[in-house]
Copies of this chain bind each other. A is one copy, B any other.
Amino acid sequence: MAKRISILGSTGSIGCQTLDVIKDYPEEFQVLALTGRKNVSLLAQQVKTFQPELAVLTDPEAARQLSRLLHGQTTRVLAGEEGLLAAATYPGTDLLVTAVVGFAGLKPTLAAIDAGIDIALANKETLVTAGSIVMQRARERKVDIIPIDSEHSAIFQCLQGNEPGDLQRIMLTASGGPFRNYSKEELAGVSPEQALKHPNWSMGAKITVDSATMMNKGLEVLEAHWLFPLPLTSIEVLVHPQSVVHSLIEFKDGSILAQLGPPDMRFPILYSLTYPKRWSNNLPKLDLVGRELAFTAPDLERFPCLAYAYEAGEKGGTMPTVVNAANEMAVAAFLQKKIGFLDIPRVIRQVMDLHQVRKNPDLDAIFSADTWARQETQGIIRTISGIS
């Protein structure tokens, strides 16, 4: 029987690549529900190709347009957060791919876990902001959380067949982004257009800017901390500009395992869909002949976002939620040219300094902290963009 898949965020980069993978296995996969924000034409096209039972656009006006476009077809159309939750918990779903960007992924992911649906997780902010709640509910409901991020997929693959207790150290690799070799002065003048050109990976806008500031790696450190049972001090970042080694783990006997592959998200996406199996595919494979793979330590002075993420993880409680919210707002403001590239860490730092950490927050406290941080960040951004 075909595996029944739903995708939250099917019109985004990971969502599109997931459908690209799925279309090569028409007998093996069935698509039940797809969701987007407001890209009517792309979702309509996906509906035509994959014939899901449910299509959702969270923007109500866009959903109305989609509904008109799909008039007479069997696919049901829903709107808003209500629609998103309906897609996340769609009856009969075997695996939910959570590929929405940012904090918006938290509620539907939790709803899917509560419904007992396995998760292929591309929305790292879910674990960054509410890792303890999400992982505990997943354990209670015996739901698999299979990471899609190439780094976490690498670690997950290396851990198969090994005792989790033998894991001693994680080395998350980082391309270092497009500005790896920029001076502080050069970083100050970086434009959104420059930040959106990632040297190795094809990804969405928000994560590409996060890669350039290295906040992406910081969020990944926090994500790894929840997915794999290690303290933050045992999770290191290695700058590896070739993006061929996707991450490494060290066991207590000193043996290191690494996972490698071309920098193509379709590999970890396919693995998340087929886990624990591996399926043959037509994607171009990695040839190591003639390759040089380099590893260096990250520069926390030029890329303070990484240090802030570690600091947020150590402080715990609501602080990671606050850092994530401040980062989302700051990146959006940078993309709208309201603030400069180096204002991103500056804004985050200021919000962190203003925040009173609440320990062991419940879901309400996490949502309050997120809302508080967004308001504070907006104020700080307004001040900066007013001056500049």
Residue pairs across A and B with Cβ atoms less than 8 A apart, 28 shown, are A161-B162, A166-B277, A166-B278, A238-B288, A245-B258, A250-B286, A251-B278, A252-B278, A253-B278, A253-B280, A253-B281, A254-B261, A254-B267, A254-B286, A255-B259, A255-B271, A256-B259, A256-B260, A257-B257, A258-B259, A290-B296, A290-B297, A291-B294, A291-B295, A292-B293, A292-B295, A293-B294, A293-B295
CA distance A251 to B286 in the complex (A): 12
Residues of B near A277 (CB, < 8 A) are 163, 166
Stoichiometry, as copies per complex, reads: 2
Given known A-B contacts A163-B278, A278-B163, A292-B294, A270 and B253 have beta carbons under 8 A apart: yes
User: Is B283 a contact partner of A254 (Cβ separation < 8 A)?
Assistant: yes
Given known A-B contacts A283-B254, A285-B254, A160 and B162 have beta carbons under 8 A apart: yes
Nearest CB of chain B from residue A195's CB, rounded to whole Å = 26
Q: Interface code A226-266, partner B: CB below 8 Å = 1, 0 otherwise?
A: 00000000000010000001001011111111111110000
Nearest CB of chain B from residue A244's CB, rounded to whole Å = 9
CA distance A163 to B271 in the complex (A): 14
CA distance A251 to B158 in the complex (A): 13
Interface residue tally on A, bucketed by range? 35 or more
CA distance A283 to B295 in the complex (A): 22
Given known A-B contacts A162-B161, A259-B256, A290 and B295 have beta carbons under 8 A apart: yes
Q: Taking each of A166, A256, A289, which has the highest tally of chain B beta carbons within 10 Å of its own beta carbon?
A: A256
CA distance A297 to B160 in the complex (A): 30
Q: Taking each of A250, A258, A286, which has the highest tally of chain B beta carbons within 10 Å of its own beta carbon?
A: A258
CA distance A252 to B166 in the complex (A): 27
CA distance A250 to B284 in the complex (A): 13
Residues of A within 8 A of B (CB): 157-158, 160-163, 166, 171, 238, 245, 248, 250-262, 267, 270-271, 274, 277-281, 283, 285-286, 288-297
Residues of B near A290 (CB, < 8 A) are 295-297
Told that A289-B296, A292-B294 touch, could you supply 13 new A-B pairs with CB distance under 8 A?
Answer: A157-B257, A161-B161, A161-B162, A252-B280, A253-B267, A253-B279, A254-B261, A254-B262, A255-B278, A257-B259, A258-B259, A258-B260, A292-B295
Residues of B near A267 (CB, < 8 A) are 253-255
Residues of B near A257 (CB, < 8 A) are 157-158, 257-260
CA distance A2 to B280 in the complex (A): 44
Of chain B, the residue at the smallest CB distance from A260 is B256
Residues of B near A283 (CB, < 8 A) are 254
User: Is A274 a contact partner of B259 (Cβ separation < 8 A)?
Assistant: no
CA distance A277 to B252 in the complex (A): 10
Residues of B near A245 (CB, < 8 A) are 258
Residues of B near A285 (CB, < 8 A) are 250, 254
CA distance A291 to B279 in the complex (A): 33
Nearest CB of chain B from residue A283's CB, rounded to whole Å = 6
Residues of B near A254 (CB, < 8 A) are 261-262, 267, 281, 283, 285-286
Question: Which among B251, B258, B278 is the interface contact of A258 at CB below 8 angstroms?
Answer: B258
Of chain B, the residue at the smallest CB distance from A290 is B296
User: Is A286 a contact partner of B253 (Cβ separation < 8 A)?
Assistant: no
Of chain B, the residue at the smallest CB distance from A159 is B161
User: Is B163 a contact partner of A161 (Cβ separation < 8 A)?
Assistant: no
Nearest CB of chain B from residue A263's CB, rounded to whole Å = 12
User: Is B252 a contact partner of A256 (Cβ separation < 8 A)?
Assistant: no
User: Is A261 a contact partner of B271 (Cβ separation < 8 A)?
Assistant: no
Of chain B, the residue at the smallest CB distance from A259 is B257
Question: Which among B252, B256, B291 is the interface contact of A261 at CB below 8 angstroms?
Answer: B256
CA distance A166 to B281 in the complex (A): 12
